[in-house]
Structure 1
């Protein structure tokens, strides 16, 4: 009987997830089907790979030996998908994923249009939620992957950078600085600021760079804080103050002549967006194709 790579993937998922039920959930299989495939693998090798008890699942010595080989097989299948996705001409299926606020509201809607025109037989179900909710949804509710605004270290998950982002100083087009290409950091610090709430990815990028420039938070003239980019933009348009926002969030306002983005001399607010998924997962081809397009866009 030939070695079945699909069975290796199932075994690896069971070992990584720690139970047949959790593995079945992430593989979109029934638990009996997962159990049957692991048993078939055990029959092929003529040895037990897992000890099943009422409390937990443990690898046998043979299972420990097989696990790194199974991991290599999964990584090879994943790398093969990445390599071949550029040659795909037709895709079908449902793409289920999640994105954090800025990405989900401003970045991906602009990018999904060309993707769906290229693959009209693909349908998209994108949820907008915070990073903690995304991890939970991937682990327990069958989402394929998530796009988040900051790296995180979560056991059992792979996190990789897929896109670049830049934050810029934003002001109304009638502001006295609006005719210039850039302003000094000191000039910016003398202006009232309207910012995202503390704890948001956008706020953290700004605070980290300010600290790198030797500027403590107390130097900022923060007059208002809001829980969404839309509220911040409205406040800036109304003249409440300047702000620091992702270039992705202000494209519409720039086109309408409502806001003017500007760089602060010697200051760079740059970050990356990251894809997160289960280590044991093999992405459906529509998901692999979308992540490939996001990576390619970042290198243009």
Structure 2
């Protein structure tokens, strides 16, 4: 018998998941099939890789030695897929993904058109849900991967930055501050703000930049807190306050003259969107191709 990557992947998944049944669920295999592959690997090396009991599975000393090599083999396969993804223009398949609200509603739809032109045989199926739901569905294998607005700290999940986004000051038509191309923070703070709820990714970016520049976020006159970008746009358009949100999300309203975008002098509100997926999962080549597309193209031309 020759050593093969499939067995190393199964071994790594069992080690990470802590049981044969959990690994089988993660790999979409039966538990006997997982057990058989681990036994074949142990026969190949002539030693036990796990200590098995009725309650848990633990790595043997030999298993602990093998683990980093199995991890490197998985990383190597991921790197190989990434390198080859630029050549897979005739690739076929269905791409299942989750997207957090801002990315899924305002950014991704403008990217999917150019992506479909380059990869016409990949069908994209997308769920626009919040980050916690995306994480839950990835763990339950209902989604292959997701794009979220903040890094995820989870031992089973890989988080990679894939795209930058810039937030801008949003003002309604006819606002007095529109006479200034670059608006000073102290001038903006004289007016009420309409913001996302406390703890949201958008608001966190704004508050962290204010703190970095020595401005207390407590100085904001918050007229209201709303749970969606769409609600914020409507509130700003109605004259209820200013806001700082993704410039990509107001492109339509700016074209119609309903809202206007300005920079705040000396402040840069930028954030990154992140891909998340299970560490034990090898992404399908369609997913790798899409993530490579996000990283390597000048996305700003479509936003």
Same fold (TM over 0.5): yes
Partner of 2:254: 254
1:163-205 per-position Cα deviation (integer Å, ceiling 9, x unaligned): 0011100011322222432111111000111111112111111
Q: Distance in 1 between matches of 2:9 and 2:84?
A: 20
Partner of 2:61: 61
Q: CA RMSD in A?
A: 1.7
Secondary structure at the aligned position of 1:245 is classed as: strand
Partner of 1:141: 141
Deviation at 1:124, TM superposition (A): 2.0
1:128-176 per-position Cα deviation (integer Å, ceiling 9, x unaligned): 2222222222122342212111123211222111100111000113222
Q: Distance in 2 between matches of 1:235 and 1:173?
A: 12
Deviates more, 1:226-235 or 1:64-73: 64-73
Q: Distance in 2 between matches of 1:221 and 1:62?
A: 61
- Report if aligned partners of 1:26, 1:142 keep a CA contact under 8 Å in 2: no
Q: Distance in 2 between matches of 1:140 and 1:154?
A: 14
Q: Distance in 1 between matches of 2:125 and 2:103?
A: 15
Partner of 1:28: 28
Q: Distance in 1 between matches of 2:113 and 2:196?
A: 28
Partner of 1:234: 234
- Residue ranges of structure 1 left out of the alignment (5+ in a row): none
| Number of residues of Structure 1 aligned to a counterpart in Structure 2 | 300
Deviates more, 1:285-294 or 1:25-34: 25-34
Q: Distance in 2 between matches of 1:52 and 1:248?
A: 53
Deviation at 1:120, TM superposition (A): 2.7
Partner of 2:158: 158
Partner of 1:207: 207
Secondary structure at the aligned position of 2:199 is classed as: coil
- Report if aligned partners of 1:25, 1:142 keep a CA contact under 8 Å in 2: no
Secondary structure at the aligned position of 1:234 is classed as: helix
Q: Distance in 2 between matches of 1:96 and 1:137?
A: 11
Partner of 1:288: 288
Equivalent residue runs for 1:1-300 within 5 Å: 1-297=1-297
1:193-248 per-position Cα deviation (integer Å, ceiling 9, x unaligned): 11111121111111111222222233111111110000000011111111100112
Deviation at 1:89, TM superposition (A): 1.6
- Residue ranges of structure 2 left out of the alignment (5+ in a row): none
Q: Distance in 2 between matches of 1:24 and 1:127?
A: 26
- Report if aligned partners of 1:28, 1:142 keep a CA contact under 8 Å in 2: no
- Report if aligned partners of 2:111, 2:299 keep a CA contact under 8 Å in 1: no
- Report if aligned partners of 1:168, 1:269 keep a CA contact under 8 Å in 2: yes
Q: Distance in 1 between matches of 2:184 and 2:197?
A: 24
Deviation at 1:40, TM superposition (A): 1.8
Deviates more, 1:177-186 or 1:2-11: 177-186
Q: Distance in 2 between matches of 1:297 and 1:225?
A: 35
Q: Distance in 1 between matches of 2:110 and 2:34?
A: 39
1:9-40 per-position Cα deviation (integer Å, ceiling 9, x unaligned): 11111111212222223223233322222222
- Report if aligned partners of 1:164, 1:298 keep a CA contact under 8 Å in 2: no
Q: Distance in 1 between matches of 2:25 and 2:107?
A: 29
Q: Distance in 1 between matches of 2:121 and 2:25?
A: 25
Deviation at 1:121, TM superposition (A): 2.5
Deviation at 1:82, TM superposition (A): 0.7
